[in-house]
Structure 1
Amino acid sequence: MKEDTKKDSITNTDEKDVQIGTITDLDEGEVFLRDHGFSPAAVQGLMDDPRRNRALVRKVDLILLPLLAGTYVLQYIDKSALAYSAVFDLLPSTNMTSDQYSWLASIFYFAYLVAEYPWNIVAQKTRLAKVVSGNVVAWGAMLMITAACSSFTGMAICRFLLGVFEAPITPCFMMIVGMWYTRAQQPFRAGVFYSCNGLGAMLGGLLTFGIGQIKTIAVWKAIYLILGGITVCWGFVMLFLLPDDIIYAKRFKLEDKALLIGRGRLGRTGIINHQIKWYQIREALLDPQVWILFLFTLFNETVNGGVANFGKLIIKGVAHDPLSTVALGIPMGAFQICFILSGTYFASRFRDSRTIVMVVYLIPTIIGVSLMWRLSHDTHKVGVLFSYYIIGAYVCSLVLALQMPATNLGGYTKRSTGVALVFLAYCAGNIIGPHAFLAKEAPKYQTGCKVILACSCTQAALAVCLRLLLVRRNKQRDAMADAGQTEALSEMDELADLTDFENPNFRYVL
Structure 2
Amino acid sequence: MSLSRKSSIASKAEHFEVEEVPPRDATLEKFALLKDKTEDELKAVEKSLVRKLDWKFLPMVTAMLLMNYLDRINVSNARLAGMQRDCHMTDVQWSAGISLFYVGYIISQVPANIMVAKGKPQYLMPCFMLSWSAVTISMTALNSVWGFMLCRFLVGVTEGPFIPAVSLMTSSWYTKSESPLRMSIWHAGNVVSNIISGLLAAAVLQNMDGIRGLASWRWFVLIEGAVSIAIGIAAFWFMPNFPSSTGTYFMSAEEAEMAQYRQEVNAGGISEDDEGGHWEGVRLALKEPFTWLFASSHFFIIIGQSFKDFLPSIMNTFGFSKTNTYLLQAPPYVFAYLLTIGISWSSGRRLEHCWHMVFAMALCLVGAVIMISTLSLGPRYFSLFLLCGGPFVALNLQISWETAVVPRPRTKRAALIAIANCVSSVSHWFTPYFFLRSQEPRYQTGGGVIVAGCGLAIISCIVTRWWCMKKNKEIEKRENETGETNAWRFVT
Regarding TM over 0.5, the answer is yes
Q: CA RMSD in A?
A: 2.1
3-state DSSP of counterpart to 1:406:
helix
Deviation at 1:431, TM superposition (A): 2.5
- Determine what percentage of the aligned residue pairs are the same residue: 21
Q: Is the 8 A contact 1:69 1:193 kept in 2?
A: yes
Equivalent in the alignment of 2:490: 508
The whole-number CA distance in structure 1 between the counterparts of 2:226 and 2:215 is 17
The whole-number CA distance in structure 2 between the counterparts of 1:233 and 1:386 is 37
The whole-number CA distance in structure 1 between the counterparts of 2:183 and 2:39 is 25
Equivalent in the alignment of 2:310: 310
Is 1:236 matched with 2:236? no
Deviation digits for residues 276-301 of structure 1, max 9, x if unmatched?
36554333222222111101111111
3-state DSSP of counterpart to 2:346:
helix
Deviation digits for residues 117-137 of structure 1, max 9, x if unmatched?
121122123212211100111
Deviation at 1:85, TM superposition (A): 0.2
Q: Is the 8 A contact 2:281 2:409 kept in 1?
A: yes
**Closer/same/farther in 2, CA of residues 152 and 372 from structure 1, 3 Å limit:** same
Q: Is the 8 A contact 1:124 1:274 kept in 2?
A: no
Equivalent in the alignment of 1:498: none
Equivalent in the alignment of 1:391: 387
The whole-number CA distance in structure 1 between the counterparts of 2:448 and 2:88 is 30
Equivalent in the alignment of 1:72: 65
The whole-number CA distance in structure 2 between the counterparts of 1:470 and 1:82 is 40
Deviation at 1:221, TM superposition (A): 0.4
Match of 2:435 among 433, 437, 449: 437
Deviation digits for residues 173-202 of structure 1, max 9, x if unmatched?
011111111111011101110022111111
Which amino acid counterpart does residue 337 of structure 1 have in structure 2? Y
Match of 2:453 among 452, 455, 464: 455
The whole-number CA distance in structure 1 between the counterparts of 2:413 and 2:41 is 28
**Closer/same/farther in 2, CA of residues 41 and 81 from structure 1, 3 Å limit:** same
Which amino acid counterpart does residue 340 of structure 1 have in structure 2? T
Equivalent in the alignment of 2:333: 333
Deviation at 1:273, TM superposition (A): 2.9
Equivalent in the alignment of 1:492: none
3-state DSSP of counterpart to 2:175:
coil
Deviation at 1:47, TM superposition (A): 8.4
Match of 1:38 among 12, 32, 38: 32
Deviation at 1:443, TM superposition (A): 2.3
Extract structure 1 runs of 4+ deviating beyond 4 A.
Answer: 44-48, 277-280
The whole-number CA distance in structure 2 between the counterparts of 1:427 and 1:79 is 13
Deviation at 1:325, TM superposition (A): 1.4
For structure 1, the 5+ residue unaligned runs are 1-29, 489-503
Paired residues in the alignment total 456
Deviation at 1:245, TM superposition (A): 2.2
For structure 2, the 5+ residue unaligned runs are 1-26
**Closer/same/farther in 2, CA of residues 219 and 279 from structure 1, 3 Å limit:** closer
Equivalent in the alignment of 1:186: 179
The whole-number CA distance in structure 1 between the counterparts of 2:235 and 2:441 is 40
The whole-number CA distance in structure 2 between the counterparts of 1:230 and 1:244 is 24
Which amino acid counterpart does residue 489 of structure 2 have in structure 1? R
Equivalent in the alignment of 1:10: none
Q: Is the 8 A contact 1:408 1:508 kept in 2?
A: yes
Deviation at 1:39, TM superposition (A): 7.6
Equivalent in the alignment of 1:382: 378
Is 1:323 matched with 2:323? yes
Match of 1:159 among 148, 152, 155: 152
3-state DSSP of counterpart to 1:266:
helix
Which amino acid counterpart does residue 465 of structure 1 have in structure 2? V
3-state DSSP of counterpart to 1:318:
coil
Query: Which range moves more in the overlay, 185-194 or 267-276?
Result: 267-276
**Closer/same/farther in 2, CA of residues 63 and 47 from structure 1, 3 Å limit:** farther
Which amino acid counterpart does residue 303 of structure 2 have in structure 1? T
The 5 A counterparts of 1:140-159 are 140-159=133-152
TM-score (norm 2): 0.88
Equivalent in the alignment of 1:289: 290
The 5 A counterparts of 1:44-443 are 49-212=42-205, 213-215=207-209, 216=211, 217-246=214-243, 247-249=245-247, 250-268=249-267, 270-273=271-274, 275-276=276-277, 280-304=281-305, 306-351=306-351, 353-376=352-375, 380-392=376-388, 393-409=390-406, 410-443=408-441
Q: Is the 8 A contact 2:115 2:278 kept in 1?
A: no
Q: Is the 8 A contact 2:102 2:428 kept in 1?
A: yes
Deviation digits for residues 107-155 of structure 1, max 9, x if unmatched?
1111011111121122123212211100111111111101101011001
The whole-number CA distance in structure 2 between the counterparts of 1:415 and 1:119 is 13
Which amino acid counterpart does residue 384 of structure 1 have in structure 2? R
**Closer/same/farther in 2, CA of residues 47 and 86 from structure 1, 3 Å limit:** farther
